[in-house]
Structure 1
Amino acid sequence: MASYEVMYILAPNLEEEAYAALSRKFSDLITESGGRVEKVDTWGKRRLAYEIKKFREGFYTVIYFSATAACVKELDRVMKITEPVLRHLIVRHEEKDNTNAEGKVAAEHA
């Protein structure tokens, strides 16, 4: 399984219960598809850089998770058809290589 993060923006006119229910829905979808949710980072309501679907604000949330490609494809499909989702982006995390060109482990800077 690869590591991913998904950031999504929900419409600001949702009730708190609806917002929480959608967040649970996306997390449950990941776990039911065989993935593992590592962290859910809720940013809350923020101003958008530009208007999206006539909204100037939105609820931002980031989910860090590990999953298969099929799980990610299903999550993307569900987010596309969920009306309160204004925008979403799923990004795969690449493994960091801590060696330099000579093969020595790079020293961390303090």
Structure 2
Amino acid sequence: MEGVVVGIVALVMIGVFHPIVIKCEYYFSHRIWPLFLAAGIGFLLAALFTEGMLSMILGLAGVSCLWSIRELQEQAQRVEKGWFPKNPNRKEPMDCTK
């Protein structure tokens, strides 16, 4: 029974994190990745100090946050390709290399 529950929770997390990544990239750009890193580490640490189903769910949340770092970068590439809209109100940082 626990395997079925963990599978369902994993599916729900994938469904929840996908729009979160899209919205975060739209409003904050891919540079928000440290927030996902901190959340991922936090969830994984919490999973170490809990047991049973809660530990599994916290571990899934932690890994989902860490995977979202890569997805943020890929989402930025999809925006550059024109597959997703770019936020016209977001100010990009100055490029000091020019």
* TM-score normalised by structure 2 residue count: 0.29
Higher helix share: 2
Higher relative contact order (CA 8 A, sep 6+): 1
Q: Which has the higher strand share?
A: 1
Instruction: Please give the TM-score of this superposition, normalised by the length of structure 1.
Output: 0.27
